Chains A and B, each alone.
Chain A
């Protein structure tokens, strides 16, 4: 008997008991759907994170205080990364195009009776060019604002919506921690970054933030949360990284371990890639386990089916089916169940990815590799878990099988 006849027969048998076939497939369907959805969503998260880092601006480096491994400890130690470091980098490192010092804190912002807790970013005018931001209306902070500790703010567009509604905010007064500020500009929308909505931030001169809002907290000068630096071009990124590190070691008089770390966008992307890659692998592993459980479910039902169909097997043998014919018949039934489950699961998985893509900014990828893998694996699972029941069927003694009424 050829494979085509066997397949036709298997389909007939499986469709004769639709409910059981569907329930048997369910495990594989869920397993497959989750493999595809999880891998797709994991890859989507990776891509989203990468895109966000790339949107930070071209050729950007970040200098943060503290060692990379022990950054949390720097909360207790005197903060050593200061405004003067940023100025030194800007004037002394030739491969650097722009430097933007940033000091950040979370404070309530009030306009009339409306009150919103917002990220207050103290920075300098170079912030725009280094981080590829722009103002939508009004103007950004100027050098004079920084020099004179002016009480001016530039607001993120979402914050403007929340505080002002339809009122034009430019020229209005807002209060940050009981200090009155004049709104001079509104930023262009930039979107979220790693879950933080950058469009809800408030930008003030870095000197104003340190002197009027937070107070100075370091004996070394105006301490910073981090410094963003843009290199002249892509080729000079590693050069800049090296020169900045050397300059800061000199300035901080470092003999053993650095008290700062310089990270390029590539470093950050690598860290993000490692984290999301690990996440994807974990999701895929969990999904893979459910695929395995689905396969065991198929084996279970096939074994029940062999027991139930003992007489059928005996009859088939009596009218001329060889052991191989019976083996092939049951194997094909198992493979059809798991492959059909695989295809259905793929459909559901792809549907889930499209749904997530439609409802969230997470543009999960439909990975052809994941689909091929999942369908292939579930077919293989059918084959693997079908062998045992099929062998049981093939080995049945026709006399015993026919007699079991």
Chain B
């Protein structure tokens, strides 16, 4: 039995500007990502990978085309419905962590469940579980400023997985970390993927992309290599 399709993009186009200054940030992109995959989106800056990330993450809407996320057509949804989708089906990890400084690690992880109207007791239990899963069970009550960069990114990962998303999206998740911490964080992504979570990561670092199992290469708003093996990086570009 084939794996369920998590992301199905059909002729997704994103235009910026109009008339003579019109720019095709994405130009009729077709893409399939199945359940359990671990992909890296790569490409030069301006190649459309960030726009792709925003559209996959339901933070932005395509100008045309269809996008099925976990079987749901999300291209035509309104703001409130997209917020609901982001809350229930997606988990985000950002380069700058984006933790709320006034909240403890535990409270930061609980935040997505607040918007999902999960009961307080369940919120607490699930947040503790998620923090233990990223190896931060002992620093739960620290504020983000009391944590190292790597620890902060672990909190962010815990926050991303706490609502049990179908897709974990990471935007340069190791961009602000040193090489040792980068390995640790990538290790966590690997473990999460092994446990069944689909991971899509945007990166420009070949070493990071090599830890994934599939590279999707963008150039000029188009997918030029939808199924590149990580080992092949460096042979293109």
Known: A318-B86, A320-B83. A325 touches B115 (CB 8 A): yes
Q: Which residues of A contact B111 (CB under 8 A)?
A: 316, 319
Known: A2-B117, A398-B59, A399-B59. A320 touches B112 (CB 8 A): yes
Could you give, for residues 97-136 of chain B, a 1 whenever the CB lies within 8 Å of some chain A CB and a 0 otherwise?
0101011000000011011110000000000000000000
Q: Which residues of A contact B163 (CB under 8 A)?
A: 320
Q: Which residues of B contact A399 (CB under 8 A)?
A: 54, 59-60
A322 touching B79, Cβ below 8 Å? yes
Q: Which residues of B contact A314 (CB under 8 A)?
A: 98
If over half of A's interface residues share one DSSP class (helix, strand or loop), that class is named, otherwise mixed; here it is: helix
Q: Which residues of A contact B59 (CB under 8 A)?
A: 317-318, 398-399, 402
B112 touching A402, Cβ below 8 Å? no
Could you give, for residues 72-113 of chain B, a 1 whenever the CB lies within 8 Å of some chain A CB and a 0 otherwise?
000000011001101110001010101010110000000110
A16 touching B83, Cβ below 8 Å? no
B117 touching A319, Cβ below 8 Å? no
Question: Is A5 interfacial (CB 8 A cutoff)?
Answer: yes
B21, chain A: closest CB distance, angstroms: 19
Known: A12-B103, A402-B98. A318 touches B57 (CB 8 A): yes
Question: Is A268 interfacial (CB 8 A cutoff)?
Answer: no
Q: Which residues of A contact B114 (CB under 8 A)?
A: 1, 5, 9
Question: Is A115 interfacial (CB 8 A cutoff)?
Answer: no
Q: Which residues of B contact A325 (CB under 8 A)?
A: 83, 115
Q: Which residues of A contact B117 (CB under 8 A)?
A: 1-2
Closest to B97 in A: A315
Q: Which residues of A contact B214 (CB under 8 A)?
A: none
* Alpha-carbon distance between A324 and B84 when the two chains are bound, in angstroms: 12
B19, chain A: closest CB distance, angstroms: 22
Question: Is B222 interfacial (CB 8 A cutoff)?
Answer: no
Q: Which residues of B contact A317 (CB under 8 A)?
A: 59, 83, 86
A320 touching B86, Cβ below 8 Å? yes
Question: Is B159 interfacial (CB 8 A cutoff)?
Answer: yes
B13, chain A: closest CB distance, angstroms: 17
Known: A1-B115, A13-B102. A319 touches B86 (CB 8 A): yes
- Which of A12, A317, A320, A322 has the most C-beta atoms of chain B within 10 angstroms of its own C-beta? A320
A320, chain B: closest CB distance, angstroms: 2
A316, chain B: closest CB distance, angstroms: 8
Q: Which residues of A contact B83 (CB under 8 A)?
A: 317, 320-323, 325
Number of A-B contacts (CB under 8 A): 66
Q: Which residues of A contact B92 (CB under 8 A)?
A: 318-319
Could you give, for residues 142-178 of chain B, a 1 whenever the CB lies within 8 Å of some chain A CB and a 0 otherwise?
0000000000000000010001000000000000000
Known: A398-B59, A402-B94. A321 touches B100 (CB 8 A): no
A5, chain B: closest CB distance, angstroms: 5
* Alpha-carbon distance between A321 and B100 when the two chains are bound, in angstroms: 14
B80 touching A322, Cβ below 8 Å? yes
- Which of A2, A16, A314, A315 has the most C-beta atoms of chain B within 10 angstroms of its own C-beta? A315
Question: Is A54 interfacial (CB 8 A cutoff)?
Answer: no
A329, chain B: closest CB distance, angstroms: 11
Q: Which residues of A contact B96 (CB under 8 A)?
A: 311, 405
* Alpha-carbon distance between A229 and B223 when the two chains are bound, in angstroms: 106
B42, chain A: closest CB distance, angstroms: 20
Q: Which residues of B contact A143 (CB under 8 A)?
A: none
B140, chain A: closest CB distance, angstroms: 17
A311 touching B98, Cβ below 8 Å? yes
Closest to B81 in A: A322
Question: Is A239 interfacial (CB 8 A cutoff)?
Answer: no
Partner of A312 from the list B60, B88, B100, B112 (CB cut-off 8 Å) is B100
A211, chain B: closest CB distance, angstroms: 87
A317, chain B: closest CB distance, angstroms: 7
Q: Which residues of B contact A9 (CB under 8 A)?
A: 114
* Alpha-carbon distance between A298 and B146 when the two chains are bound, in angstroms: 31
B206, chain A: closest CB distance, angstroms: 24
* Alpha-carbon distance between A405 and B96 when the two chains are bound, in angstroms: 8
9 cross-chain CB contacts under 8 A: A314-B98, A317-B59, A317-B83, A318-B57, A318-B59, A318-B98, A319-B87, A399-B59, A402-B59
Question: A319-B112, A325-B83 provided; 7 other pairs, C-beta below 8 A?
Answer: A317-B59, A319-B86, A320-B84, A320-B116, A320-B163, A322-B79, A399-B60
